[in-house]
Structure 1
Amino acid sequence: MSRKRPTDDGDELLARLGSLTAQARERAELQRSRVELALALQRGMLPRGLPTAPGFRLAVRYAPACHGLNVGGDWYDAFTMPDGRIGLSIGDVQGHNIEATAFMGQVRVGLRALASVTGEPGALLARTNELLLSLGSELFATCIFMRLDPATGALESARAGHIPCVWATADGKSGVAEDECGPPLGVLEGADYPVTRYRLTKGGIFVLLTDGVVEGPTLSVEEGLDQVVRLAGIAAVAGMRADALATAVIKGAERVGHEDDAAVLVVGHDGRTAPDVPLAGP
């Protein structure tokens, strides 16, 4: 009975190891390509610029998740509406893959398109909800949509299953918005989205964000929001620029204990509203 020589056994082992290494390299390259594709898709769907209005400042910060294939569907948007007011939205699609990223694009584009038909935030979310249900997707999204009138500082807000925004005024007051919340988009037919009205006063700030900034294994959403409230309060009293506050808030994503998309949208008022309009905080 013949036996393989030790050198033959060694050669066979090396050949197998080489084959396994090549397969692992191919899988890693495929995974990296899919992540790069999803990130490129994300970047292409986010706005390239922000609208401007005298006396108001907008700032955004976005940190996409890049852990394995954990590429999610967080988004932000800001655009000028047909009547001259500014539409602001931020949201989060269920899931962390290329499908979630693509669905995010559908939600964002749907909001923009329907805003030309109705700019009232509650009606806009309701129509977007029906649109997403008609697509038959199993995914859903949480979202806040706000409409800002630069002439008066008036803000109208509606929320679809999303974490609330944070506000602060120049006189030292700050807190988490206590508005009603409808269900996530794409879940329930005939859903209602109540509208809450605020006024953005001189020196005031509103911070919209996604849960990747404030919630995770090492940080509860309440603790995370409290941190943002403190930052916003300090920023409003100190007259901090909107972009500096957005940078400080997005740093909170490093403390939540997981890899997730994180988005922050800050709107601040550093000018005057129309002289005949009384100023009031949230």
Structure 2
Amino acid sequence: MYRSGTADDGEELLAELQSLTTQARKLAEMQRSRVELAVALQRGMLPRELPQPPGVRLAVGYVPANHGLNVGGDWYDVFALPDGRVGMSVGDVQGHNIEAAAFMGQVRVCLRALASVTGDPGELLARTNDLLVSLGADLFATCTFLLLDPAEGTLDCARAGHIPHVWATADGAAGVDDGEGGPPLGVLHGAEYPVTRHRIATGGVFVLLTDGVVEGPSLVLEEGLRQVMALASTAAVEGGDIDALVASVMRLAGTVGHEDDAAVLVVGHDGGAARPGPPGE
């Protein structure tokens, strides 16, 4: 009589399936722990409080890509300098893993440390870039750095491969920054980063973003920036709360069609210490 297998064969198969299931569960738990660690690392490196320079309002929004097994390296940062100016950065590290989150921390620390050495955003990005290149990291980061002078009402801006920021004024004017930028940080030694100067107009706003806010399968970058420009213009004309503007922009981030980090930083001028003027160079 023909038999396809024995009881021992069945027990072996069950034992092997149980072993594979256990290994898969342990691997999933380990990966989840790595994601939780990376998210904690991200959040721990973001500023807990924002400076409150006279005449200027600041608001931020941030959602990490901690869905599934991915986590990114987007960040925002705002910090006061001894001379009364305020340094601000928004950036995005290549990759979606714990290494990206750790590299984000390196970039942020470099920017903060070197901001006390040079008051020029272009030189700051150049020094940060050369330092990252010298470390030999396999990752790179895009970044926008702004230096705000509340007393003068100016914003000096330098970009390293990052998407441009959006501006709007209370009289209805709005646009996307067209200043020239340099390459991403950590790629090319000796890179240069041009600086564009803006003047903060009373009631005006500047919106800094990462690409996870305005670009994805459901939204091309140009359209995403156009929608942010419309939101910023409405907020500036109506004299709206910049926290509400951040909330509107973050809602837009939920429509781009993918799960990525999303960071937004809004700078507004309430007509206090700074002298009003057009937002251009």
User: TM bucket by the smaller chain?
Assistant: over 0.9
Q: Is this contact kept in 2: 1:215–1:221, CA < 8 A? A: yes
After superposition, residues 173-184 of structure 1 pair within 5 angstroms as 173-184=173-184
> 2:103 — aligned with what?
103
> Shift in Å at residue 16 of structure 1?
3.3
> 2:170 — aligned with what?
170
> Shift in Å at residue 6 of structure 1?
6.7
After superposition, residues 144-223 of structure 1 pair within 5 angstroms as 144-223=144-223
Deviation sequence 1:27-53 (CA, Å, 0-9, x none): 111111111011111111111111111
- Secondary structure of the 2:42 match is helix
Deviation sequence 1:75-115 (CA, Å, 0-9, x none): 10000012110101000111111111111100000000000
Question: In structure 2, how many angstroms separate the alpha carbons of the residues matched to 1:278 and 1:102?
Answer: 40
Question: In structure 1, how many angstroms separate the alpha carbons of the residues matched to 2:199 and 2:276?
Answer: 9
1:272–1:15 Cα change, 3 Å: same
Q: Is this contact kept in 1: 2:201–2:276, CA < 8 A? A: no
Structure 1 gaps of 5+ residues are none
- Over the residues paired in the alignment, what is the CA RMSD in angstroms? 1.8
- Secondary structure of the 2:76 match is strand
Structure 2 gaps of 5+ residues are none
Quick one: which amino acid aligns to residue 211 of structure 2? D
Q: Is this contact kept in 2: 1:38–1:98, CA < 8 A? A: yes
Deviation sequence 1:194-251 (CA, Å, 0-9, x none): 1101111111000000000011112111011011001101111111111111111111
Quick one: which amino acid aligns to residue 155 of structure 1? L
Aligned sequence identity (%):
71
> Shift in Å at residue 10 of structure 1?
4.8
Q: Is this contact kept in 2: 1:81–1:119, CA < 8 A? A: no
- Secondary structure of the 1:255 match is coil
Q: Is this contact kept in 1: 2:200–2:276, CA < 8 A? A: no
After superposition, residues 121-136 of structure 1 pair within 5 angstroms as 121-136=121-136
Whether 1:116 aligns to 2:137 is no
After superposition, residues 1-282 of structure 1 pair within 5 angstroms as 10-274=10-274, 277=275, 279-282=277-280
Deviation sequence 1:123-146 (CA, Å, 0-9, x none): 111111111111111211110000
Question: In structure 2, how many angstroms separate the alpha carbons of the residues matched to 1:278 and 1:97?
Answer: 43
Q: Is this contact kept in 2: 1:54–1:271, CA < 8 A? A: no
* Farther-moved stretch of structure 1 (55-64 vs 4-13): 4-13
> Shift in Å at residue 2 of structure 1?
9.9
Q: Is this contact kept in 2: 1:55–1:271, CA < 8 A? A: yes
Question: In structure 1, how many angstroms separate the alpha carbons of the residues matched to 2:204 and 2:118?
Answer: 27
Aligned residues: 280
Question: In structure 1, how many angstroms separate the alpha carbons of the residues matched to 2:242 and 2:7?
Answer: 69
